[in-house]
Structure 1
Amino acid sequence: MFISKLAFLKIDFMKSKIFLILFSIAVIGVFSGIALHEKRFDYIFKPLLMISLGGHFLVNAARFEFKIKIFAVWAILFSLFGDTFLMFAGNGPNFFIFGLGSFLVAQIGYIFLFRRLNQVEGLKPYIATKPLWLLLYFAYGGVIYILLFSNLDAVLKIAVFIYMAALLGMSIMAMNRKGIQPQISFNLVFTGSLLFVVSDTLIALNKFLTPIPADRFWVMSTYMAAQFLIVTGILKQLEKQSVFER
């Protein structure tokens, strides 16, 4: 029994390593496309980012609670949809709207995931004890929205507001894990959430306000790091707490 369990863990480790190698290849492919100004690289490597991260998560979370897996796959899958739609954003405004909508659903998935992972009896969420942090998020969101407002049409005014609320809500839920979850897990997930905010802010500013030098490099750098850190941080929490199926 013990030997078979070790063999199972070894197989899982090898599968996980394969997915991480695929993610690394995807990152290199995305950066190569940016450096070579070759848009066609995106069609191969951008979808591979979330496919490989999703595989990495599922291999390591196979024994964990069903709801956790559902929320994580939800966020990862709709991030994949968002990446795919945004690849074609230059072909018409609908692709951008569909991409934004997909990432909206992904952020909601992350919100539910962080909330589920943070349910510890007897402990208050961090924001409940330090509500002033909310003011920083509101101020940041307000400033960015005001900067963009005059350049948005009626539909985008609503869409961007809703998405920004979900994006910042995701980061707030990541902050809520402070003092409740393992420090390494909190650091990874919260840093990832902030990089996600930075990445999407850069997209918005570049598209609706003013061109940003090397925008694709900065957007993709922060985005890829964000997704990797969030997934890795979640797995660190599950690894330390052994959240098994129940």
Structure 2
Amino acid sequence: MSRSVLLKLAAVSGLLTILAAPWALAMPPLAWVCKPLTTALLIAWAAGRGLSDPMRRPLLLGLVCSWVGDVALLWPQQGFLPGLVSFLLAHVAYGVALWRGGARPWWPAIALYAVVALAVLQRLWPGIAPALQGPVVAYVLALAAMAALAAARWRRLRSVGAAWGALGGALFMLSDATLAFDRFAAPVPLASLWILASYWAAQACIAAALPPPRSAS
């Protein structure tokens, strides 16, 4: 199966997951099938990229951790903490990949994402249960660090792949901030649409940070 077909199938599967929400088709079994399938297709698409790139292994590990998180969050209550930990590990893996790919600290990006992370935590803090406060803080810090590294890599390399990675980091912040507001602050209209669309766009952009194969199709 060609890589372009894998990416198109991931887009279709992601769209079906979004449409399975109560505000659309209201078909939870469809989401149970298509949500992990979408990330699995993105993993398969990314696996054909950057075969000799030092970023490849940790980036693929991050995608696999994300797939585990997707499965865990099929149970929104019981699976929230395991899902949070899985995505935290994904961001650590992405950070390692970005570092191997040439990212180095860039203080304007660090300051920007630190401000965003603190603003989000301040807004959400009253609604976060005490047992979840530590894991949530650790997660937000890991996410912000990953996004800052992605931006720093783009600033240093100015390549197309680095630009995709930086966009992916920003989209991940947007997706998770929306999810957190919906869960801990107030319901977000059409939440699954905004969360999942930005989430899979983020994952695809991060995977696109790997160079395409010479015979890309």
Give TM-score, length-normalised by structure 1.
0.80
Q: Which has the higher helix share?
A: 1
Higher RCO (CA 8 Å, separation ≥ 6 residues):
2
The equivalent of 1:50 in structure 2 is 39
Structure 1 residues 73 and 133, CA, compared in 2 at 3 Å: closer, same or farther? closer
Match of 2:14 among 2, 6, 27: 27
| Number of corresponding residues | 212
Task: Give the superposed CA RMSD.
Answer: 1.9
CA contact (8 A) 2:65 2:89 kept: yes
The equivalent of 2:30 in structure 1 is 41
Q: Look up the equivalent residue of 2:204 and give its one-letter code.
A: F
| Residues 51-70 of structure 1 mapped to structure 2, 5 A cutoff | 51-61=40-50, 63-65=51-53, 67-70=54-57
Q: Partners of 2:105 and 2:59 in 1: how far apart? A: 22
Gaps of 5+ in 2: none
Gaps of 5+ in 1: 1-13, 120-124, 240-246
Match of 2:130 among 136, 154, 157: 154
Measure how far apart 1:182 and its partner are. Answer: 4.4
Structure 1 residues 133 and 117, CA, compared in 2 at 3 Å: closer, same or farther? closer
Q: Partners of 2:204 and 2:52 in 1: how far apart? A: 19
| Residues 1-246 of structure 1 mapped to structure 2, 5 A cutoff | 14-34=1-21, 35-61=24-50, 63-65=51-53, 67-89=54-76, 92=77, 94-118=78-102, 125=104, 127=106, 131-236=107-212
The equivalent of 1:6 in structure 2 is none
CA contact (8 A) 1:22 1:48 kept: no
Measure how far apart 1:56 and its partner are. Answer: 1.1
Over alpha carbons, which structure has the higher Rg?
1
Give TM-score, length-normalised by structure 2.
0.90
